[in-house]
């Protein structure tokens, strides 16, 4: 199996889908001549031309809305936001437009669009360029929300997202673009809404997405040394959430820790806790604990930034608590 | 059509009675060049909108129509004139003030009334309501209720037409106050930059809710905003259905032949409140002001022009008006008889399979 970077896997997914379907096109800031701010779209302008790979003005609301309108009229746009921090500028078009068009029109207008780009915390980028906003999008009926943690998932999920007839918010990890891994060639499709058990285990279920999967895996390694066998599950798609896989795991482990980079209040983890307590209450031997980003804007200083996001140590500590092993 | 003469003739209309007469004779002059059947069709559409909206106001008062309901009375000439130039494959995007354009496009009045009443036979299955009318088969791409948000959508539909090499054009209607929001500017820039076949029609009815446009826009001639984007633009008397038709006609040609956008400012006036919850006058305009504008009624003016050149008679008008009132009555019956959506509809249409 070929080994490639996360960004190359994404690139391959877009390339294959653009070859497969003429209606798929890419637009965003710097996606063409510059090859993308994070080089995810490298080579696509050369291969597909300016008709299908469009450099836009710095106008997130305008070009995202243009994509929604193009989707209403038969195209399948991929919108790249330079980072999800800037997607806030386009929020009206996504929340009031893309997500609701099908419903408001009584089923007449689906929006087959992917809004993708990097999200999550990044190194010392400070408050406005380093944050996890997935909970905002997860809140909205009509949207799907996908966050791949590995190169193989990145490719398989992006291909499915592009073929999905609904608006998909596809949040990549800014710090995983260089990560390498095995990626199946060709028709590698991962269905949306299916979680992946990244590490099977029996003692505790650790649920994490995107970059936090790797933090959870490191924590699991440390825990193994203490004789604790953690199961790490990556939902991969946050909406719709594969609750079934999480509940099954809980039936086995009876304990869970949820890890996310986002803010704690109304976070993704809060939603997962709610679903699990409602559907698996009788299997729980301890309260479910959450490890999240600190409830603050992201600080610049390295020493403060380090305190603002979950790390393997904080995950290990939470696992010990749910196992009463302090 | 870089503004010029049309802009000046509009200014005249709003000044003196003498100018008003000359505007009427200009209308008669244009009418002479057109087919009687087309002229009658335009008149019929304007009358249908007027009578439909009057009925909608009644049903709103009875509580049969809920929510926000923005009527088109006074602005009929804009929607009817503009849409009369479109082909069957073209697209239309509107704001929440969308009943008139939907009827002008040929939406079934029953389906429209049923939508206003929240019934399943409505054009959006009762899920959209007054502000969200959709009919894909007619190219009617919605009523959108966030000010300015549908301008990028219209640019996007026009983008799709160009991308797919389809000869469609897109009309996008919005109010005067919309020229101040970011999406207006982002859309105009993209449309001109990417040469999109879209026509932006600003219906300048002088107010954004209760605020006169001169209190919120830094310029008076709103169509000149297009200059910033090197876009063709024009102002037109929005109370003259044929002047609107001509101006939009030119813009449609430009869009179809050269794939270029246009901004048109149609100077019009709304006779009702901003929505059904807003009184017609009292706070932001006087009764006298409203009456003065009512004298320029686009329908009355069109009727007198057509009578003047002998295309129609008073009897014809009466007979047509009665027929239209009956169509509107039937629309109400249809809406009344249509089913309320059942609970199974609540969760449908959130996602496609
Ligand atoms: C972004 C946004 N802000 C505020 C509103 C509330 N609102 C609805 S209509 C309106 C006035 C718009 O006036 P104009 O664009 O001139 O259109 P008109 O109603 O005259 O057709 C306002 C402020 C809204 N719908 N969207």
Residue B19: its pLDDT value, please? 65
C-alpha distance from A55 to closest chain B C-alpha (Å): 11
Rounded average pLDDT over A299-326: 97
- pLDDT digit string, tens, across residues B123-133: 999 999 999 99
Rounded Cα–Cα distance for residues B232 and B12 (Å): 22
The per-residue b/e assignment along B326-340, b for 16 or more CB within 10 angstroms, e otherwise, is ebbeebbebbeebee
Answer whether residue B184 shows pLDDT above 70: yes
Mean pLDDT (chain A) is 98
Question: Of A278-287, B123-132, B276-285, where does mean pLDDT reach its minimum?
Answer: B276-285
Report CB contact under 8 Å: A104, B159. Answer: no
- List the structure tokens of B1: 């059509």
C-alpha distance from B169 to closest chain A C-alpha (Å): 12
- pLDDT digit string, tens, across residues B284-320: 999 999 999 999 999 999 999 999 999 999 999 999 9
Answer whether residue B187 shows pLDDT above 60: yes
Q: With contacts defined as CB-CB under 8 Å, which chain A residues touch B126?
A: 106
Residue A290: its pLDDT value, please? 98
The secondary structure of residue B235, as a DSSP letter, is: E
Rounded average pLDDT over B161-190: 98
The number of beta carbons lying within 10 Å of the beta carbon of residue B2 is 12
Rounded Cα–Cα distance for residues B239 and B341 (Å): 39
Residue B16: its pLDDT value, please? 45
- Write the CATH number of the domain with boundaries A3-182: 3.40.50.970
Residue B18: its pLDDT value, please? 63
The per-residue b/e assignment along B160-175, b for 16 or more CB within 10 angstroms, e otherwise, is bbbbeeeebbbbbbbb
Residue B10: its pLDDT value, please? 39
- Cβ-based burial of B285 (10 A; exposed 0-12, middle 13-18, buried ≥19): middle
Residue B23: its pLDDT value, please? 80
Testing the interface with A: which of B152, B182, B347 to mutate, by most A Cβ within 10 A?
A: B152
- pLDDT digit string, tens, across residues B40-54: 999 999 999 999 999
Rounded Cα–Cα distance for residues A8 and A150 (Å): 11
Rounded average pLDDT over B61-67: 97
Residue B186: strand, helix, or coil: helix
Residue of B nearest to A74 (CA): B160
Residue B5: its pLDDT value, please? 40
Rounded Cα–Cα distance for residues A70 and B333 (Å): 37
Answer whether residue A64 shows pLDDT above 60: yes
- Would you identify the CATH topology of the domain A196-322? Rossmann fold (3.40.50)
Residue B25: its pLDDT value, please? 86
- List the structure tokens of B42: 């335009």
Q: How confident is the model at residue B14 (pLDDT cuts 50, 70, 90)?
A: very low
Rounded average pLDDT over B266-284: 95
Answer whether residue B2 shows pLDDT above 90: no
- pLDDT digit string, tens, across residues A230-275: 999 999 999 999 999 999 999 999 999 999 999 999 999 999 999 9
- Would you identify the CATH topology of the domain B36-332? Rossmann fold (3.40.50)
Mean pLDDT (chain B) is 94
Domain ranges across chain A: 3-182, 196-322
Residues of A classed as catalytic:
60, 129
Residue linked to tokens 């002998």:
B310
Please check whether residue B92 touches A, CB under 8 A.
no
B142 lines ligand 1 (CB under 6 A): no
Peptide bond into A240 cis (omega under 30): yes
Q: How far is CA A91 from CA A95, A318, B176, in A?
A: 6, 34, 24
Residue of A nearest to B132 (CA): A104
Report CB contact under 8 Å: A102, B351. Answer: yes
B115 lines ligand 1 (CB under 6 A): no
ipTM over 0.85: yes
Ligand 1 mean position, distance from CA B178 (Å): 7
Residue A270: its pLDDT value, please? 98
- List the structure tokens of A39: 């080089």
Rounded Cα–Cα distance for residues A257 and A278 (Å): 16
Domain ranges across chain B: 36-332
Q: How confident is the model at residue A207 (pLDDT cuts 50, 70, 90)?
A: very high
Number of the ligand 1 atom closest to the C-alpha atom of A92 = 1
- pLDDT digit string, tens, across residues A75-113: 999 999 999 999 999 999 999 999 999 999 999 999 999
What does the H/E/C string look like for chain A? CCEEEHHHHHHHHHHHHHHHCCCEEEEECCCCCCCCCCCCCCCHHHHHCCCCEEECCCCHHHHHHHHHHHHHCCCEEEEECCCHHHHHHHHHHHHHHHCCHHHHCCCCCCCCCEEEEEEECCCCCHHHHCECCHHHHHCCCCCEEECCCCHHHHHHHHHHHHHCCCCEEEEEECCCCCCEEECCCCCCCCCCCCCEEEECCCCEEEEECCHHHHHHHHHHHHHHHCCCCEEEEECCEEECCCHHHHHHHHHHHCCEEEECCCCCCCCHHHHHHHHHHHHHHHHCCCCCEEECCCCCCCCCCHHHHHHHCCCHHHHHHHHHHHCCCC
Residue linked to tokens 């243009």:
A66
């Amino acid at each position: 199996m070929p080994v490639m970077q996360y960004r190359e896997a994404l690139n391959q997914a877009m390339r294959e889908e653009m070859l497969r379907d003429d209606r798929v096109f890419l637009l965003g800031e710097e996606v063409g001549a510059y090859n993308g701010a994070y080089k995810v779209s490298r080579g696509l302008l050369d291969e597909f031309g300016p008709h299908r790979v469009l450099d836009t003005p710095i106008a997130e609301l305008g070009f995202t809305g243009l994509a929604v309108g193009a989707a209403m009229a038969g195209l399948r746009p991929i919108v790249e936001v330079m980072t999800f921090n800037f997607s806030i500028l386009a929020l009206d078009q996504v929340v009031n437009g893309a997500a609701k068009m099908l419903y408001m029109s009584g089923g007449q207008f689906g929006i087959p669009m992917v809004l993708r780009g990097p999200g999550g915390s990044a190194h010392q980028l400070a408050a406005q360029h380093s944050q996890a906003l997935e909970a905002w999008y997860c809140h909205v009926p009509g949207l799907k929300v996908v966050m791949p943690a590995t190169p193989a998932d990145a490719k398989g999920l992006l291909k499915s997202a592009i073929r999905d007839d609904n608006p998909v918010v596809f949040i990549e990890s800014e710090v995983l673009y260089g990560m390498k891994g095995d990626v199946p060639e060709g028709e590698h499709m991962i269905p949306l809404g299916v979680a992946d058990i990244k590490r099977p285990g029996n003692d505790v279920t650790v649920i994490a997405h995107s970059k936090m999967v790797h933090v959870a895996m490191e924590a699991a390694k440390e825990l193994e040394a203490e004789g604790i066998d953690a199961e790490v599950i990556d939902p991969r798609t946050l909406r719709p959430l594969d609750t079934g896989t999480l509940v099954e795991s809980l039936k086995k482990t009876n304990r869970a820790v949820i890890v996310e980079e986002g803010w704690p209040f109304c976070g993704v983890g809060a939603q997962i806790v709610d679903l699990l307590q409602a559907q698996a209450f009788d299997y729980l031997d301890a309260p479910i604990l959450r490890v999240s980003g600190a409830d603050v804007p992201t600080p610049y200083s390295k020493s403060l930034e380090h305190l603002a996001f979950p790390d393997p140590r904080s995950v290990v500590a939470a696992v010990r608590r749910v196992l009463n092993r302090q | 059509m870089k503004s010029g003469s049309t802009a000046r003739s509009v200014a005249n209309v709003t000044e003196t009675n003498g100018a008003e007469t000359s505007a009427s004779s200009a209308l008669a002059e244009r009418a002479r060049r057109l087919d009687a059947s087309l002229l009658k069709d335009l008149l019929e559409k304007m009358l249908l909108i007027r009578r439909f909206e009057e009925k909608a106001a009644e049903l709103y008062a009875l509580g049969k129509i809920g929510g926000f309901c923005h009527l088109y009375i006074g602005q009929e000439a804009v929607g009817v004139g503009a849409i009369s130039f479109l082909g069957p494959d073209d697209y239309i995007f509107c704001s929440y003030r969308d009943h008139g354009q939907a009827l002008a496009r040929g939406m079934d009045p029953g389906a429209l009334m049923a939508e206003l009443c929240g019934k399943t036979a409505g054009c959006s299955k009762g899920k959209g309501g007054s502000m969200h009318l959709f009919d894909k088969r007619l190219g009617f791409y919605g009523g959108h209720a966030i000010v300015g948000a549908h301008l990028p959508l219209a640019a996007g539909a026009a983008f799709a037409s160009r991308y797919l090499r389809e000869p469609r054009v897109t009309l996008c209607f919005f109010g005067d106050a919309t020229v101040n929001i970011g999406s207006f500017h982002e859309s105009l820039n993209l449309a001109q930059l990417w040469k999109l076949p879209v026509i932006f029609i600003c219906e300048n009815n002088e107010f954004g809710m209760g605020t006169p446009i001169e209190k919120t826009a830094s310029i008076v001639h709103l169509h000149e905003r297009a200059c910033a984007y090197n876009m063709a633009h024009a102002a037109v008397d929005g109370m003259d259905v044929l002047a609107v038709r001509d101006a939009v006609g030119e813009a449609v040609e430009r869009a179809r032949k050269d794939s270029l956008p246009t901004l048109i400012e149609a100077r019009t006036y709304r006779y009702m409140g901003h929505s059904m919850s807003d009184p017609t006058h009292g706070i932001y305009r006087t009764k006298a002001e409203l009456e003065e504008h009512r004298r320029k009624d686009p329908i009355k003016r069109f009727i007198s022009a057509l009578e003047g050149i002998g295309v129609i008679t008073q009897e014809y008008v009466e007979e047509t008006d009665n027929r239209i009132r009956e169509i509107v009555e039937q629309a109400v019956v249809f809406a009344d008889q249509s089913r309320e959506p059942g609970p199974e509809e609540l969760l449908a249409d959130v996602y496609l399979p």
